[in-house]
């Protein structure tokens, strides 16, 4: 389905620890060189290798377009579009795309700012703010943020809702309608006992933030997160229009390969978190949030704490879901799949590497592209951060 299939991708994620005895350490590389799996190379060499990797992978994965940006520190290493947005229009890093769940860390940052100000606590029970939801006396804000509340998603495994989406992909949905559809399904488990990825959690957190502050989350997001981070080109809107030239996306999920760029994104997440961005904003946001921007060191430690370990067998101290972010072998990332776009926003603090990837699919892969950007990230880590290697296998 057209939503970030976090369960499928996170559970399939393989974290591989490798020792590259022949690789040079960062201290052994000359100024202007980078440490990669083969040793120390110039930035130009690394750039050519990464761009060649993308070109080679695109036909293998059935990709129509790829936009990739890789920064080391604040310095771009790769910033390039590959393939075509639509016939005769090359993909460009300046193009806007739906960022889906990449916006969730922004919401979590806003939540943690409010905790730093003493206006709420992650340990607050949901009943304090929204007592109408199931198990509200047991569900905490922390459980919502690390998706261990047990709440169901409104689209995943919800065939009646999926049918409505396919019948009219231009329909504008409200958050209340989405939450109503979520709770047509039963809760998955007792609160805090299982990891079940559902955007329901974040839609409810948006409502909590609005109640605590008395202001729309979209306004708070612009004033307290996007603006201070310098993400001046990111649009917050539940409507289909984008503020600039769009990377066109395509899907085959309705049985025919079609352009779905301007289908309504309103069904995807809660208020204040439906966004479109160019790649420069995505990569800047990944780095700033990964470095703990706008929140206290205590809150940043909570953001990446392994609180979900033990909720499913696949999670360990090396692979788990923090607060609105997946953490794997030193990397933290979000990997949305929305309306034909597959994306990655990732940051590796150990090497100060920021990555943004978005792909669109050709007809043969348009109904099963959930892991494509994630696979490219894996290939990138094999070369650029071998001591922090992650591998996401292609869909079966």
Count CB atoms within 10 A of the CB of residue 291: 12
What was the pLDDT predicted at 395?
55
**Residue 238 in contact with residue 221, Cβ under 8 Å?**
no
- Residue ranges of alpha helices (H) inside the chain are 6-12, 43-61, 104-116, 141-145, 159-167, 175-182, 200-213, 217-221, 227-229, 279-290, 297-303, 372-384
**Residue 132 is assigned to a structural domain of this protein:** yes
Based on the structure, what is the number of domains in the chain? 1
Residues 149 and 162: their CA atoms lie apart, in Å, by 23
CB 335 within 8 A of CB 271: no
Answer for the pair 273, 234: CB distance below 8 angstroms, yes or no: no
Tell me whether residue 19 is in a domain: no
Domain that residue 261 falls in: 83-343
Tokens representing 110 are 């806003």
Give, in order, the Cα–Cα distances in Å from 11 to each of 21, 182, 296, 331: 30, 22, 31, 16
Of 202, 209, 214, 236, nearest in space to 114 by CA:
209
Question: DSSP 3-state assignment of 75?
Answer: strand
- Residue 367 located in a structural domain: no
Residue 355 pairs with which residues in a beta bridge? 70, 346
CA 195 to chain centre: 17
Asked if residue 53 belongs to a domain, the reply is no
SS3 (DSSP) at 79:
strand
CA-CA distance, 2 to 323, in Å (whole number)?
23
Does a structural domain hold residue 154?
yes
**pLDDT score at 23:** 42
User: Is 206:175 a contact under the CB 8 Å cutoff?
Assistant: yes
Residue 260 lies in a domain: yes
66 with 357: CB under 8 angstroms? yes
In a domain, 24, yes or no: no
Strand, helix or coil for residue 242: coil
In a domain, 107, yes or no: yes
- State the first-to-last Cα distance of the chain, in angstroms, to the nearest integer: 16
Size (the chain), residues: 396
- CATH number at 112 reads 3.40.710.10
From CA 203, how far away is CA 270, in angstroms rounded? 4
d(C-alpha 254, C-alpha 165), whole Å: 10
* DSSP SS3 for 395: coil
Tens-of-pLDDT digits for all 396 residues of the chain? Answer: 454 445 445 555 655 544 343 344 445 899 889 999 999 999 999 999 999 999 999 999 999 999 999 999 999 999 999 999 999 999 999 999 999 999 999 999 999 999 999 999 999 999 999 999 999 999 999 999 999 999 999 999 999 999 999 999 999 999 999 999 999 999 999 999 999 999 999 999 999 999 999 999 999 999 999 999 999 999 999 999 999 999 999 999 899 999 999 999 999 999 999 999 999 999 999 999 999 999 999 999 999 999 999 999 999 999 999 999 999 999 999 999 998 999 999 999 999 999 999 999 999 887 666 689 999 999 999 999 999 998 776 655
């Amino acid at each position: 389905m057209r939503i970030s299939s976090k369960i499928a991708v996170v559970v399939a994620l393989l974290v591989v620890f490798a020792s590259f005895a022949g690789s040079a350490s960062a201290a052994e590389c000359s100024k202007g060189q980078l440490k990669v799996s083969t040793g120390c190379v110039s930035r130009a060499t690394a750039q050519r290798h990464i761009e060649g990797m993308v070109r080679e992978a695109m036909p293998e994965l059935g990709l129509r377009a790829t936009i990739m940006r890789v920064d080391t520190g604040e310095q771009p290493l790769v910033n390039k579009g590959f393939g075509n947005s639509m016939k005769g229009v090359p993909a460009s890093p300046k193009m806007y795309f739906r960022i889906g769940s990449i916006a969730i860390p922004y919401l979590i940052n806003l939540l943690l700012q409010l905790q730093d100000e003493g206006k709420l606590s992650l340990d607050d029970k949901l009943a304090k703010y929204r007592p109408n939801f199931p198990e509200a006396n047991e569900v905490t804000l922390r459980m919502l943020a690390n998706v261990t509340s047990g709440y169901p998603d409104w689209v995943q495994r919800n065939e009646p809702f999926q049918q409505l989406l396919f019948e009219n992909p231009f329909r504008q949905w409200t958050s209340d309608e989405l939450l109503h559809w979520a709770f047509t399904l039963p809760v998955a488990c007792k609160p805090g006992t299982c990891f079940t990825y559902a955007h329901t959690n974040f839609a409810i957190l948006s409502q909590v933030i609005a109640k605590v502050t008395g202001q729309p989350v979209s306004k708070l997001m612009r004033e307290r997160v996007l603006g201070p981070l310098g993400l001046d080109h990111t649009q917050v809107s539940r409507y289909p229009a984008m503020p600039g030239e769009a990377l066109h996306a395509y899907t085959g999920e309705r049985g025919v390969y079609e352009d779905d760029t301007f289908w309504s994104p309103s069904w995807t997440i809660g208020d204040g978190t439906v966004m479109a961005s160019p790649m420069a904003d995505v990569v800047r946001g990944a780095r700033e949030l990964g470095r703990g921007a706008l929140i206290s060191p205590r809150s940043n430690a909570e953001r990446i704490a392994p609180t979900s370990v033990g909720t499913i067998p696949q999670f360990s101290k090396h692979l788990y879901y923090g607060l609105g972010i997946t953490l794997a072998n030193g990397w933290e990332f979000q990997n949305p799949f929305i309306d034909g776009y597959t994306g990655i926003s990732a940051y590796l603090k150990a090497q100060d590497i920021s990555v943004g990837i978005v792909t669109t699919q050709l007809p043969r892969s348009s109904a099963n592209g959930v892991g494509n950007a994630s696979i490219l990230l894996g290939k990138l880590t094999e070369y650029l951060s071998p001591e922090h290697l992650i591998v996401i296998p292609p869909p079966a």
